[in-house]
Amino acid sequence: MARPVVAIVGRPNVGKSTIFNRIIGDRLAIVEDMPGVTRDRLYGVGEWLDHQFSVIDTGGIEIDGEDEILKSVRVQAELAIEESDVIIFMVDGKAGITPNDSEVAELLFRSKKPVVLAVNKIDNIQRQDDIYEFYSLGFGTPFGISGSHGTGLGDLLDEVVQHFPDTKDDEYGEEVIRVALIGRPNVGKSSLVNAILGEERVIVSNVAGTTRDAIDTPFEKDDQKYVIIDTAGMRKRGKVYENTEKYSVMRALKAIERADVVLVLINGEEGIIEQDKHIAGYAHDAGKAAIFVVNKWDIVDKDDKTMQQFTQKIRDHFLFMTYAPIVYLSALTKSRLHKLLPVVNQVAEAHAMRIQTHLLNDVISDAVAINPPPTDKGRRLRINYATQVSVKPPTIVLFVNDPELMHFSYERYLENKIRAAFGFEGTPLRLFTRKKSSDDE
């Protein structure tokens, strides 16, 4: 089930990024700070009143070769309109209404999307009167907020969540594996979708416009049901969008949210570029099972070492996704295509795997016996027990005497031991440490 999407829109210097950071709070601290994670943060996850939602900071969208601020702001607003469920329209309470504000307001008003007006820089009670002129923009009650102090955000988010769409239960069922294809332009997403469906020839139906305006294609192979969530079928919106790298990222985010398994497509002919890491990183952060699919392998000049060398390049560039298997194929010729779905099945099973507590603790105990935790200022980490608390992705809580004593290198060691014992190929594995209390059983 995909989270609602909230976009923060406004002209430059009204404080969009500050509010973005306040809404997502310290959630980004959960994301591993590992080599290879180089993407900048256009997107985060916020939570308010038991609602989780995705947040887009359109201030991170830059238009290559475009110096006109107004045109750039317009493009950002158009992207937000298309991608979001609710829009936070930010203006500057000190500056008042500017022509750029009016331009964005007109675009948002025509969109018919829910818009919540946030007047930033209302830093004290004396500035409260500054919000009244913004009623003239036509979006109802303006919410005075302060990015620097964090005041007013509660009332703003109360209003935002009121406009979230109704979330429906899973329309396909737990037995169906949802597969999303992501990757930069021209890696062959559409070709691979067509190859998979053409090969199987058991297409149940095409469902357009489901949930996120993606094209969902259910099909069945060897008694296993799948749904391909196809972002590749979405039409480009002209040159300015093609030049906006992050537009494709926002498209991919929605598909990732709904997927069980994410196919990260890489152009075998061109090799790996920075945008590949950006896009793959979002699948990792979302906790989805993932497979690297190297397409166009038929036109790569090869010898007996080519595949091994390309595999090493992937491992070197994607150090944060060493768990993801790699499949080499050609969507055009369908060479090696038959290898893909069995790997999809394997990683989907690992993504949903639940380990019995006693088996998990046996592995942890053996790992600690082989390599005890190092001491820190005379104190040693003691792991009392572990339990798996959720799946998709598998998430394990380690109850310890003091979470501060868990070094990231020892946590990585334990993860490797768990993976060696139970597999978990293709899925991220989340480990959290918690201090054992008398209430924990």
Q: Check for a shared fold between 5-162 and 177-351.
A: yes
Within 10 A of 189 (CB to CB), how many other CB atoms are there? Answer: 24
Of the candidate CATH numbers 3.40.50.620, 1.20.1420.20, 3.40.50.300, 3.10.150.10, the domain formed by 177-351 belongs to 3.40.50.300
- List the binding residues: 10-17, 57-61, 120-123, 183-190, 230-234, 295-298
CA distances, 194 to each of 181, 232, 233, 269 (Å) = 12, 11, 11, 20
CATH, range 357-435: 3.30.300.20
- Every domain of the chain and the residues it spans: 5-162, 177-351, 357-435
Instruction: Give the mean pLDDT of 92-112.
Output: 88
Computed over every residue of the chain, the mean pLDDT equals: 82
pLDDT of residue 167 exceeding 70, the answer is no
CATH class for the region spanning 5-162: alpha beta
Q: Which of 159-173, 184-198, 230-244, 290-304 has the lowest mean pLDDT?
A: 230-244
3-class secondary-structure state, position 142: coil
**Torsion region of 82: left, alpha or beta (phi above 0 gives left; psi -120 to 50 gives alpha):** alpha
CA dihedral 13, 57, 239, 251 (to 10 degrees): 180
Instruction: Give the mean pLDDT of 335-363.
Output: 96
Ranges of beta strands (E only) in 183-308 are 207-210, 214-221, 224-230, 261-267, 289-295
- List the binding residues for GTP: 10-17, 57-61, 120-123, 183-190, 230-234, 295-298
Predicted pLDDT at 168: 57
pLDDT tens-digit series, residues 15-48: 888 888 888 875 443 333 333 333 344 677 888 9
Percentage helix, strand, coil for the chain under 3-state DSSP, each rounded to 5: 40, 25, 40
